Structure 1
């Protein structure tokens, strides 16, 4: 069947004039509403108003215009059903063969920092989704377009054969339901949060595809990269790639981990990550010094890793970065000289994140993790502490320098896979024990990595000590201060061991498990 009548009503008018003009030239009658009608009429394209079809005026500031039997009968009528055909004839109605609709800009509206509740509600589209759903349900006979990217293909099929193929209509119908589903999910999320119910009985989220990935965690796994609508700035989903081949699945996860750690610091900081664990973290008077400390923390593991900085990278630092193989560098920005140096390396990926909010400026978000058959949702771990939050539980108080290193270590250990032990000294990591099945095992790895640097270092543990063995091991290595959550039934055993060895120990009262 040929497409004879089209209903066009779009908020985003990109390409619509050219598309409508071609439809009119192909003999298609165009029905339209509101601003779209005015635009097409102004452009000299033959168009009739929706009121001419419904016999009813647009009312209530345009809230009610397409919610009418004359519209939805034309969309939902099954063309080879005799009863439907009879009803169309007897009521003097007509079919609508093509629907071109996109929706009120709800996402753009709520993204405005000064948006009011009233503005948000007014930008919830009702008639648009209803028409889209009606047309998509009846895709056996009706073509429905929700994306300007599909205009050219649809027009080509109409010009060639007068109609679109059933395969095309099926594909476009699926796109419609994805679109309306995402639209409703965004509205539901907005209203749920306003109502103080961020974990409702049905948790519906929506994401937009950024790109297909070559493969997932391993070459035999398919994967794609998605961004949440209205994602905050300063993360891997909003970063601008300035150089290098496309990101891989593992690159994205590692880059996300590196940014999460570097955001813990307000002072200049550099983080090196391998397999989502930090292998080197340093802070300094400037980024150049911070990078040197991060590199010195583990010159072996940084090779092939991901480096994130929380300040602009300059020429001097870029020169050092260019001397080793790195997968990715992330920074708020790069000087022209630094970008020139780093861009000479073919395989490196350079990402510009824009300004990064430090721990003090970050808000908790919701983290979704899939499990087989479902998912779990939790608040992101943005908890931070200051010296005033700590409880000294040993006879010896930490020195000012020890306290500085304890707080540094605590910021980083929360991002190390549990069980986690981290050693800090001179504003850098010197040993990291990650992902072990017992805490003393994680301590052994961290101490072995640190070697002589363990002497005088501060030890951070992501969770409490179930017994005193980790303290004993720390004492043998020459560690002088420990930060841990406390809360074990054997806390006194650990405190006693620390006192015996002259180790200062503080409790945070908060743990940082990371699985």
Structure 2
């Protein structure tokens, strides 16, 4: 077989003129539609209009033009079937050997601010996916191209043998079905959101590959990095890497954790993360002061960690950052002086995020967690505590400074693996207890890490205390105030212990488990 006729209809016209000109020079007859036909004719490429093939005009503002037996019989006919050959001959139909189609720009349309619903619907392609699916189904005989990056391969094989190889046609067909599946998933997601049904009976998602990763959590595990088609700005998937070696799977997980924490703060803040838990969080009047606090919170654990800031990294901060080994530094931007300093370290990754926006601007996303045989889906935890909703449950009210530190600690403990305890003082963490099988264990770790700094600090807990033992530990360490969700059937026991030791305690009514 050889490729004699091609049907070309593309929204993304990148490279299409040169591709079709070369096809024509190889003796391929080109059929086209609408704007693609006009462009090819304008550029002097011989082209036949689709109406000349179907004998029927393009109608309904171009909605109906390729949905015709003269098109789809030419795509779906089995070339070595005598019955199919007989029917094609009797009806005077010709084969189509190559389809080059990409679809109406639905994604680009709905990405526009305040896009009209009618515009979104009008950019749902019907004829394009139908032609692609027909050609891809019949890939034993038909070549189908949906990506301009494949033009060169197709031309090379046609030049060499007059046709593409079966192996190439299989690969291109698989790519087509991935493409149309992603296209339909995006439409489904858009309409589900419009109709207020974000968790429908079938949950279909699509992601675009950013890069292959060297490996996953461990060297024997394969991995890749993907992003959602409409990923919002200020997320790791839209970051610009300014310097350093490629991100690893573990880098990406830790960097995402650091970003989620630093976005909690509107004032200058710096977060240091190790193994997806914060080892130091600081807030200050400048990014330099915030970093100094984050560093002093745990100078040991920050080594080899990831640092995220919500302000531009300046020269003075960069000079401190360069003194220790860090995997990644994340910030809205870096001054030229800071870049000059930090890029002297060959391997450190520098990620420019652009502006994060305020904590109040964050929007909930649905988070997918894979399990064997399926997945679970939930809204992301972007709950922001309104201080007016706090309930003081002890005899002693927290002081203004204690309340400030309690709210700081609450923002951090939300992002610590459960069971989670955070000690805070002076707008910085002084102790973090994460991921223990009981809350007392987490409290012991946080208090031990804080050492003398525990005295006069406040304690934040991601969930309620099932008994008073954590409060006993807190009192012994000199902790003066506690913030926790409340809601245990034994709340009174914890309140009694707090009162006995003069600890102020407030309930939030909100739990922040993070598993």
Structure 1 distance, partners of 2:300, 2:346, is 22
- What's the CA shift for 1:389? 1.4
Deviation readout 1:433-452 (Å, 9 max, x if unpaired) = 00000001100000000000
5 Å matches for 1:111-510?
111-510=111-510
After the TM superposition, which of the residue ranges 359-368 and 260-269 deviates more from structure 2? 359-368
SS at match of 1:237: helix
Q: Flag structure 1 segments of 5+ consecutive residues without an equivalent.
A: none
CA distance in 1, matches of 2:339, 2:403: 37
Match of 1:511 in 2: 511
Aligned mates of 1:397, 1:330 — CA distance in 2: 38
Match of 1:295, SS state, is helix
Task: State how far apart, in whole Å, the 2-side matches of 1:138 and 1:173 are.
Answer: 9
What is the CA–CA distance in structure 2 between the aligned matches of 1:358 and 1:412, rounded to whole Å?
Answer: 16
State the distance in 2 between where 1:123 and 1:102 align. Answer: 13
Find runs of 4+ consecutive structure 1 residues off by over 6 angstroms. none
* Structure 2 gaps, min length 5: none
Structure 2 residue aligned with 1:45 = 45
Deviation at 1:168, TM superposition (A): 0.1
- Per the alignment, residue 4 of structure 1 pairs with 4
**Residue 256 of structure 1: SS of its match in structure 2?**
helix
Aligned residues: 515
1:126-156 Cα distance to aligned partner (Å, 9 max, x none): 0000000000000000000000000000000
| Offset at residue 358 of structure 1 (A) | 3.0
1 CA distance for matches of 2:358 and 2:326? 24
Superimposed CA distance per residue, residues 329-363 of structure 1 (whole angstroms, 9 cap, x where no aligned partner): 00000000001100000110000000012321101
Shift of 1:386: 2.6
Displacement, 1:387? 1.7
Residues in 2 aligned to 1:389 and 1:383: alpha-carbon distance in whole angstroms: 13
Q: Distance in 2 between matches of 1:374 and 1:149?
A: 33
3-state SS, counterpart of residue 231 of structure 2: coil
Q: Name the counterpart of 2:78.
A: 78
Q: 1:386, 1:407 within 8 Å by CA — same for their partners in 2?
A: no
* TM-score scaled by length of structure 2: 1.00
> RMSD over aligned Cα, in angstroms?
0.4
SS in 1 for 2:40: helix
CA distances 1:168-200 after superposition (whole Å, capped 9, x unpaired):
000000000000000000000000010000000
- Matched residue of 2:281: which SS? strand
Distance in 1 (CA, whole Å) between partners of 2:473 and 2:412 is 21
In 2, the alpha carbon distance for the partners of 1:29 and 1:514 equals: 60
